[in-house]
Structure 1
Amino acid sequence: MPSIVLIIISVVLSACGQVAMKMGASSLTSNNDMLLLKFLHYFTNLPIMVGLALYGLSAFIWIAALEKVQLSYAYPMAALGYVLVAVLSFLIFNEPLSLTRIVGLAIIVVGVVVISQS
């Protein structure tokens, strides 16, 4: 599989993991400050566990990509995760996507395109 495809799959899985963890975090109701109880709530929350699993899968695919390309080429492409998370947050959680954020996200995309041409 081409390295760019592996990178994109890794970024998408990572972004989906963020969304899943946000879903899980939003459903938590415990205000307990005890760290052990917090961990128990986290690890018994299905969306959080799905998010962590997606992160793990993303990491394995990322490593497969790094076998084929330079880190200095691959890592900037991970910034596409910021763009994807912002768009998914807007679509799923109705989070605001201001003009300033859109401009910033566009700059990230342009930067990734420039780097991918090298």
Structure 2
Amino acid sequence: MTIRIFLLVLLSVTISAVAQVALKRGMSGPIVQRALDGSELVPKLIAVGMSPMVFLGLALYAVGAVVWLLVLAKIDVSQAYPFVGIGFLITLGFGVLLLGETVTLARIIGIAFVSVGIVVLSRS
């Protein structure tokens, strides 16, 4: 894998992690939360669809998918896909930094296992 392809993988995974944060922010907003408390489906869908952060998250997923397609055009999916696990690390970091989430020992252990797995798979 060339450095260019690795950087494209990292870009795609990072975009997806940012998309997760945007979706979380959008779904946690007061308008969406009030709509989700109701029983009617249509107001829920409208509130979610009208949330700028939800829209941003979905748009970022689309951009990340395009970058991922560029990766898959250059290397085997079995070589590229293990690096998606890096997204766990990035998302955890963004969750802590941007959303104030806490890091538990179980999460640290899980991330360590994922990291070791990525290294093992990337070297094979």
> By the TM > 0.5 criterion, same fold?
yes
Q: Tell me the secondary structure at the aligned position of residue 33 of structure 1.
A: coil
The alignment's TM-score, normalised by the length of structure 1, stands at: 0.92
Decide which of 80, 87, 99 is 2:105's aligned counterpart: 99
Q: Tell whether 2:15 aligns with 1:13.
A: yes
Task: Specify the code of the residue in structure 1 equivalent to 2:51.
Answer: N
Runs of 4+ in structure 1 off by over 6 angstroms are none
Q: Tell me the secondary structure at the aligned position of residue 78 of structure 1.
A: helix
Superposition map of 1:6-85 within 5 A: 6-27=8-29, 28=32, 29-30=34-35, 31-85=37-91
Rounded to whole Å, the distance in 1 between the matches of 2:70 and 2:43 is 36
The alignment's TM-score, normalised by the length of structure 2, stands at: 0.87
Rounded to whole Å, the distance in 2 between the matches of 1:49 and 1:62 is 20
Rounded to whole Å, the distance in 1 between the matches of 2:61 and 2:94 is 16
Rounded to whole Å, the distance in 2 between the matches of 1:57 and 1:34 is 32
Q: Tell me the secondary structure at the aligned position of residue 98 of structure 2.
A: helix
* Stretches of structure 1 lacking an aligned partner (at least 5 in a row): none
* Stretches of structure 2 lacking an aligned partner (at least 5 in a row): none
Identical aligned residues as a percent = 34
Aligned residues: 118
CA RMSD after TM alignment: 1.4
